[in-house]
């Protein structure tokens, strides 16, 4: 295939989004490489810190091989009402009191505080987050 410039990247496959998704679903993933493994160098140079992984897919019917890259395209902080479990030591009574005043609930089974992200930000306790509180997600 001829390209106008050697530095110009090859054109992407010309499918509509729906066609591309259906076609990729039908392909077999032959290899998945994490950033830093052999075979990802040129993709890391091209996409930098946004690159998550590279997948090599193969069409079992035609034998065509596709290279796909998974990229980070957006990072957002959690919503203020999202709840997290945070750790506050037993002797840190001042912090415990402030958390409790702002609606924090003590989980006696896990021995952690259940607090909204807005409160965590207000009190500067981001470094104490243990995990996001598991909520049942509903479809919209």
Q: What angle do CA 110, 77, 106 make, to 5 degrees?
A: 20
Tell me if residue 2 falls in helix, strand or coil. Answer: coil
Q: Which residues of the chain have pLDDT under 50?
A: 1-4
Per-residue model confidence as pLDDT tens digits over 14-40: 556 666 667 777 788 888 999 999 989
Instruction: Give yes or no for a contact between 68 and 20, defined as CB atoms under 8 angstroms apart.
Output: no
Its pTM stands at: 0.61
- Measure Cα distances from 56 to 2, 11, 26, 95, 111 in Å: 23, 17, 13, 50, 45
Whole-number pLDDT of residue 35? 92
Whole-number pLDDT of residue 60? 84
Half-sphere exposure of residue 112, counting CA atoms within 13 Å on the CB side? 14
d(CA 34, CA 25): 20
Tokens found for residue 65: 């091989």
């Amino acid at each position: 295939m001829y390209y106008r410039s050697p530095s110009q990247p090859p054109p992407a496959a010309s499918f509509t989004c729906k066609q591309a998704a259906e076609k990729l679903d039908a392909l077999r993933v032959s290899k998945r490489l994490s950033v830093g493994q052999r075979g990802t160098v040129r993709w890391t140079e091209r996409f930098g810190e946004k690159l998550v992984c590279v997948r090599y897919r193969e069409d079992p019917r035609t034998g065509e091989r596709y290279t796909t890259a998974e990229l980070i395209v957006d990072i957002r902080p959690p919503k203020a009402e999202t709840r997290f479990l945070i750790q506050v030591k037993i002797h840190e009574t001042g912090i415990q009191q402030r958390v409790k005043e702002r609606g924090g609930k003590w989980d006696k089974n896990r021995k952690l505080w259940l607090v909204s992200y807005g409160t965590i930000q207000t009190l500067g306790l981001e470094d104490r987050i243990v995990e996001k509180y598991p909520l049942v997600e509903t479809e919209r």
